Structure 1
Amino acid sequence: MPERFTDEELDFLRFARFGELPPRVPPEQLVEVVETEQPDLPPARPVFDLGPGGPA
């Protein structure tokens, strides 16, 4: 059975792993992000080159 930790134990483990964390952002300061443009990606290349004759 998995071990259950108390909130205080989880807080200590988080501190031990990451150190001092910044304060939590309140929900009213969160902003939804919507991607509107596609990134400039290089053209897709074939995974392998069949050569000038194509498949045998």
Structure 2
Amino acid sequence: MSERFTDEELDFLRFARFGELPPRVRPDDLVEVVETEQPDLPVRQPFDLGPGGPA
């Protein structure tokens, strides 16, 4: 059977393992991500070395 820890116990265990960490992010602090389409970027033409090739 798995043990249930209080928030204070979890904070202590996290500190004991990792040291000082920033505060845990709560679900109320999260923001929704909105995916956007990629902008239409100009297509770069390949560099033309000319008929002689590289010098």
TM-score bracket, shorter-length normalisation: 0.3 to 0.5
TM-score in terms of structure 2 length: 0.40
Which has more radius of gyration? 2
